[in-house]
Amino acid sequence: MIGPGDRPVQHETEPGHPSQIEAIRVKKIYNTGTSQVEALESVTFSVASGDFVAILGPSGCGKSTLLMMVGGLELPTEGEIRIGGSRVTAPRLDTGIMFQDATLLPWKTVLGNVLFPIRMQRRPIAEYRQRALDLLHTVKMADFADKKPAQLSGGMRQRAAICRALIYNPSLLLMDEPFSALDALTRDELNEALLDLWQRYHKTGLFVTHSIREAVFLSDRVLVMAPRPSRIIADVRIPFPRPRDASVQETAEFTGLCAMLRAKIGSHP
C-alpha cells in the first residue's frame, strides 16, 4: 500500500481552492496470483472545479476502484489521473475521503476523531480545534463533541466522519457510498446535511453510490457506470438549480431523470 506521510510533499493545489479532476484512459488490472481481474476497462472523464459529481452503478462496475485511484490509495495500471493539473501518485492533502464505514477510533471522543488527521500530519492541534467545533456545529453534532463513538448512532458517526474528512480543508471530497449502511430515514437526513455543507463550502465532490435518487438529488452531473467490462456508459447533466432542497425530489422532472438513469443502467446489465 502506498502513501506514508514521510515522503516529500508533492506539488498540490492550494487547499481551499476547488480543483479540477482529469482522468485519462485509466485502466486497472488486479493480479491475484492465479488470474487477472480487470477492475476498470478504460475510463476517461473530467470534473470541473466546484462541481459535485455522482458515480452511479451496480456492484462490480468498478466505481469504488475508480474513487480509490482518484484518492491516490491505488495506482492505475495504465493511464493517469490529475488533480489541479498535477498527477496523482499518492494520497494528497488536497483530498479528503469518506468510506461506507465511518471508522471512528472507539477510544477517542468525536472531537478527538475529527482532529485525528491533524495529529497524524503533526500540525498544531490548537489552530484546528475551533475549526473542528465549527464543522461539528454545521452538521448539528456540536453537543456530542466529547462523546465516544459507541454512544452515537450510525448517522451521527457518519456526520463526524464528514467533519474529519474536511478538517484539513481539502479542495476535493471523495465519498465511497458513505450512507449505504444507514436506514432510509437517516440516509435522507444525511443527504440533506451533505447538500447543505457542500453548498456552504463549495468543494469539488466525487460521490460513489448505487442509489439513483441520491445521485440525482445531490449532484450536478451523474457518471453512469456498467460492469463487464467496467466503463462509463453515460454522462448526464442534472439541471436543477442551486441552492436545492428536499422538495426537488417531488418534481416530475426528478422522477423522469431517475427513470431515464434506471433505463440506462438496465440496458447494460
Partner 1 sequence: MILSRKANRNSPPWQIGPGDAWAIARPVAMPVLLGAAILLAWQLSVQWLRLPPIVLPSPGNVLTVLVANSPLVMEHGLHTVVEAFEALFISVAIGLSLGSLLSVSGRFRDGIFPNLVLLELVPKIALAPLFMIWLGNGELSRIVFSVFLSFFPIVIATLAGLNATDRSAILLCESFRASRAQIFFHVRFPYALPFVFSGIKIGSTMSVIGIIVAEFINGSRGLGYLVMFSASNMATPLMFATTLALCVFGTMVYVSTAVVEKLFALRYELPKA
- Residue number, 93 or 248, with CB nearest to partner 1: 93
Decide whether 101 or 192 has the Cβ nearer to partner 1: 101
Shortest distance, position 107 Cβ to partner 1, whole Å: 4
Question: What does the CA dihedral 71, 214, 240, 265 come to, rounded to 10 degrees?
Answer: 90
Q: Give the separation between CA 170 and CA 19, rounded to whole angstroms.
A: 10
What residues from 83 to 112 belong to the interface with partner 1 (CB under 8 A)?
90-93, 95-97, 99-101, 103, 105-107
Which residues between 166 and 185 bind partner 1 (CB under 8 A)?
Answer: 168
Closer residue to partner 1 in complex, CB, 104/236: 104
Q: Which CB, 150 or 263, lies closer to partner 1?
A: 150
Considering only residues 56 to 75 of the shown chain, the ones binding partner 1 according to CB under 8 A are 71-73
Least distance from partner 1 to the Cβ atom of residue 10, Å: 10
Task: Give 25 or 123: the residue with its C-beta nearer to partner 1.
Answer: 123
Minimum distance, C-beta of residue 240 to partner 1, in the bound complex (Å): 31
Cα 159 versus chain centre, distance? 13
Nearer to partner 1, 74 or 214 (CB): 74
Helices 154-166 & 125-138 angle (0-180, nearest 10)? 140
Pick from 27, 148, 213, 231 the residue near partner 1 by CB under 8 A: 148
Q: Closest distance between partner 1 and the C-beta of residue 230, in Å?
A: 20
Name which of 24 and 90 has its Cβ closer to partner 1: 90
Site for partner 1 in 6-65 (CB under 8 A): 6
Q: Contact between 230 and partner 1 (CB under 8 A)?
A: no
* Smallest separation (angstroms) from partner 1 to the CB of 161: 9
The residues that touch partner 1, with contacts defined as CB under 8 A, are 1-6, 71-73, 90-93, 95-97, 99-101, 103, 105-107, 116-117, 119-121, 148, 150, 168
